[in-house]
Structures are given as C-alpha cells and as structure tokens.
Amino acid sequence: MSRCKEKLDLDGVDEALGKLITAQLKFGKEALKLLGDGCGGAIGALKKINLPKSDTCCDIPEPCWMPVQIGEICCQLRPGDVGEICFVVTNENFRAHEYSVVAAGEHGNLVHISDKLFNLGPKERRVVSAKFKMPGKSSTQERDSCCKCNDYEAVIWVQGCQNHYLNWYLNSSEKSSECCHEVCVTDVPDNELHWYDHFHVMKPCPGPIVTK
C-alpha cells in the first residue's frame, strides 16, 4: 500500500493496450458479421462490441471550492538525513492575501515549516521551506505485517485564496536518495461562473454505522 515505487510500473499500460487490441479484434469480427446480417443486426452488434468508454463534454468537473492537489513526492532517507521541499508561493490576485502553510497527518509534527503565516501583496511571491529529518528506528518499521503504508506521511497545506495540498511520503532506508524539490504554488482566484456550478451542493457525510 506504499505510494512510493522503486521502479517504473508499466503493468497498467500493458493492460490498457491489451484491452484496446481485444476491442479492435472484436470490432473486426462484428463488422464481418454485419455484412451477412444486414442493417437489422447493426444495433445489436454494436452493443456487443463494448468499446472502452471515454469522457464526454457533459462530465461534471469537481467544484471550484474543492482543495487543489499540487502533487505527490516520495523520498528515501537514512536515519538522520534531511529531506526538503521548497514551495514557491505566488499570489496572482490583484489584492493582498494572508497565507498559511501547515503540515498535517500522522507525522505532520515532524515537518519543520520555515514560514507558517505570512502576507503577500498582488503578484508577490515567497519561498517557504518544509524540512523532514528521518528519525531513528521506530515502531513503524517493526510491525510484523504486510498491511502498512509508507514509514512516514504528511500532508502539506498551502492556504490562501484557494486551498492547495501536497502529499509527502517518506521511507527509512540504508541509503538516501535525492530529496530536495521545488514546487510552484500559483494561487489564482476563480472569477468564472461555470455551467456546472448549479450541479454542486454541500452534503454532510453520513454518520457512523451502528452495529449491535
């Protein structure tokens, strides 16, 4: 269940290509059958083809007020080594905004933020550093189970006109890999009225399931 992968995984590509080839072969067979069946069997044959579906122009995007994901970063560090993410935060609005940068999640308290609260004027920007020092051997590495995520995880929130977040996954290793990243956070106000806005509504999450 780790979000970090040591090598490039092409299994999904192979599966997609396999489905595409299968659909093309099926299409060819059904087309040949149509030549013998005439137009009467066209609709039924097309239903059997079951071609891969694609997005349409009527798909409803996420609400503009939902948090914006700015990426995922995976790091491998030796105990004692430090990983760092440099957030370049830019206020693209024509008015000043207050910004906050916080680290959340189970291990968010292990992330050091250089500037947690600051103001940016119109078109101004600032670089904010987030550092993580890999602890020594911990209980997260001693679990005798295959059900585990990464050794350490944190969600870095950059809150301004919009809410932006980045997922940071870190694993303890005998050898460190490069873990110094620059991430641009462009904070732009959403001043457009979208056709799909009236489809969105704030719904409360259902309560807990009651068992007897």
In terms of C-beta density within 10 A (0-12 exposed, 13-18 middle, 19 or more buried), how is residue 68 classed?
middle
What does DSSP assign to residue 173?
Answer: -
Give the pLDDT confidence of 7-34 residue by residue, as tens digits. Answer: 555 556 667 677 777 777 777 776 666 6
Do the Cβ atoms of 137 and 79 come closer than 8 Å?
yes
Structure tokens given for 117: 């609260």
106 part of a folded domain: yes
* Lookup result for tokens 């290509």: 17
Model confidence at 205, in pLDDT bands (50, 70, 90)?
confident
Q: Is 30 helix (H, G, I), strand (E, B) or coil?
A: helix
Query: Do the Cβ atoms of 127 and 181 come closer than 8 Å?
Result: no
Give per-residue pLDDT as tens, 39-97.
555 555 545 555 555 555 678 777 777 899 999 999 999 999 999 999 999 999 999 99
Residue with tokens 């009467």: 40
Task: Retrieve residue 70's tokens.
Answer: 């700015």
Give the H or E element holding residue 184: strand 180-187
Which pLDDT tens digit goes with each residue over 127-171?
999 999 999 865 445 556 677 778 999 999 999 999 999 999 999
Would you say residue 25 lies in a domain?
Answer: yes
How far apart CA 170 and CA 151 sit, in angstroms, is 6
Residue 55 tokens read as 């997005």
Please name the residues in contact with 59: beta carbons below 8 A apart, sequence gap of 6 or more.
none
Q: Assess whether 169 and 131 both reside in one domain.
A: yes
Q: What pLDDT was estimated at residue 77?
A: 95
Residues 111 and 17 in one domain: no
The answer to whether position 131 is within a domain reads: yes
CATH value at residue 130 = 2.60.40.10
Query: pTM of the prediction?
Result: 0.68
Are the CB atoms for 153 and 104 separated by under 8 Å? no
Q: Tell me how many domains the chain contains.
A: 2
What amino acid occupies position 197? Answer: D
Domain with 129 in it:
68-187
**Distance between CA atoms of 99 and 87, rounded to whole angstroms?**
12
Other CB atoms within 10 Å distance of the CB of residue 209: 5
Residue 105 shares a structural domain with residue 158: yes
Dihedrals φ, ψ of 131, to 5°? -120, 145
